[in-house]
Amino acid sequence: MPKAALSRGNIATTSADRSIVDIPDSPTDRVSRHRPSRTRRQRTDGASLSQLVGQGEPSHGVQDGPDHQRLLFIPPEEHRSHMAQTDPVSQFQIKFLHAKPELELYDQIVPHLKAVGLYHCTMFRHFMLDHALLTALTERWRPETHTFHMPCGEMTITLEDVAYMLGLPIDGSPVKGDIQTEWSGEVLRLLGIELDGQARSYIRLHQLRKAISEQGPLTDDSGEDVITQYARAFILELFGCLLFPYSSKKYVRCYYLPLLEDLSGETRYSWGSAVLAFLYRQLDDSVLLSQGRWRKTIGGANILLQLWCWTRFSIGRPTSIQYDKWGQPDLQSCGPYGCYWIGNREHRRTPFQIYRDEFERVTENMVDWTPYLAYLGWMPEMVQQEIQNSIWFARVPLVHFTVVEWHYPDRVMRQFGFRQPNPPPLPKYWTEHEKLRKIKDPITSIDDVTSHQDACEKWNERTRIRTLGPYERGDHKAYMRWYGIYGMKKLKLVGN
């Protein structure tokens, strides 16, 4: 069998390390795999069926009951989903930040981009976002669990999605470093430009482009130092526009520079987990009421959010090219799964309220739970290496400098082809999550330093902390009864 023809069926597993199991490739078989057998009534961990049935109507507010079963700790009036009940005809839409990088992608810098695992992101520099669709999806985000609470259960963007969609490296050191206020010296040394008339902790993107363009284009006679400096500037622009845009898409932080000093790939960073951590934090902030106001903009890798939504749901999905024109049999030249949505496509402009109503009616059979199975052999070589590591199943904190957010793959096991039992309790209560959210630049307090170091240590143990277990034997009906009580199954739209 050629190396490119990988599938879930030929990935080696053992009884001791059962991270991936054989899953049928047929769409019909995939759907039936998630349906519980009529002859099996196995009860899973969590509340018993009799307890679940006797609990009454689902609760969508701050819940009573044992803390190990509670999910929703945020008061309903402080969560954005409350707008669906109080102002159902509102035209309010969030602006999802996304900018078009302008620096030229020269052939000379491609080896550097591939060495650090950022080359595939260059394929998404020209992309459109559907702000109405993403606003409706974001309403269902719960910061307590880092999942979207859909009518058919919890779903989320996992490390697997980041690797498949964007082709970013997952296995590697956490993205962290010193947070300084003075970077002019490092900017001059690593980029060859000076920070004139701007704050020293970040670079304005238009000034970065201007300074780089003044140095002239790269040619066959360009020295290695010039090529490396340009590659760093190119990556910084990529961060500021696509992967880590902040509340404004006009600048990029300087603290990435030390991580880009060596572009040989000898030191490998987990850019994928950093992208997911930063997006989780942005989604958290977008649904929480702050000082009586809702956020109007969301930063982070919103392109990932858009690709994930189109892949999992048919809602708002554009007409796309076929995958046989998207992929390449050569692993060195094929793109990640997200490239499926790039090319000739037609977008439909739909009002936000219609999107909201469509998400409210999503059923389990309307979700593409395992979209990547048929495309495993078309993935880039780096992504296929990540498949063998199975780090996607790690229940660990994700780190992006001072941002620390938890990854909960055990809550969305259907996205890996397993049945979903009642998830285990959250490792941290909401009060502890709030403490992590208060860690700011720079880290000064001893408690913050300790919490951050603990998160980095847990990430470094990711290969030993996996979500392994008999998930394929879970009772899905029991999960849905449990979720109907403790999750946010419906937004309770007026008129429904």
**Phi and psi of 269, rounded to 5°?**
-105, 150
Query: What contacts 331, CB < 8 A, 6 or more positions away?
Result: 3, 4, 379, 380, 381, 384
Residue 436 covered by a domain: yes
Residues 48-87: tens digit of each pLDDT? 322 322 233 333 343 433 444 678 888 888 898 888 777 7
pLDDT, residue 319, reads 72
pLDDT, residue 97, reads 86
Residues 246 and 373: their CA atoms lie apart, in Å, by 34
Residue 179 covered by a domain: yes
Q: Is residue 463's pLDDT more than 50?
A: yes
Residue 340 covered by a domain: yes
**Phi and psi of 353, rounded to 5°?**
-65, -35
Residue 230 covered by a domain: yes
Residue 425 covered by a domain: yes
Q: Which domain holds residue 91?
A: 17-486
In terms of Cβ atoms closer than 10 Å to its own Cβ (0-12, 13-18, 19+), residue 68 is exposed
Contact 160, 416 (CB under 8 A): yes
What's the domain count of the chain? 1
pLDDT above 90 covers what percent of the chain?
34
What would the DSSP string read from start to end of 180-216? -S--HHHHHHHHS----SS-TTEEEHHHHHHHHHHT-
Residue 4 covered by a domain: no
Query: What contacts 31, CB < 8 A, 6 or more positions away?
Result: 364, 365
Residue 150 covered by a domain: yes
**Which range has the top average pLDDT, 191-195, 224-228, 461-465, 480-484?**
224-228
More confident residue, 2 or 485: 485
Residue 29 covered by a domain: yes
Q: Classify strands 202-204 and 147-150 as parallel, antiparallel or unpaired.
A: unpaired
- Report which of 425, 443, 146, 96 is spatially closest to residue 281, judged by C-alpha positions: 146
More confident residue, 98 or 12: 98
Residue with structure tokens 């996205």?
A: 415
104-131 average pLDDT score: 91
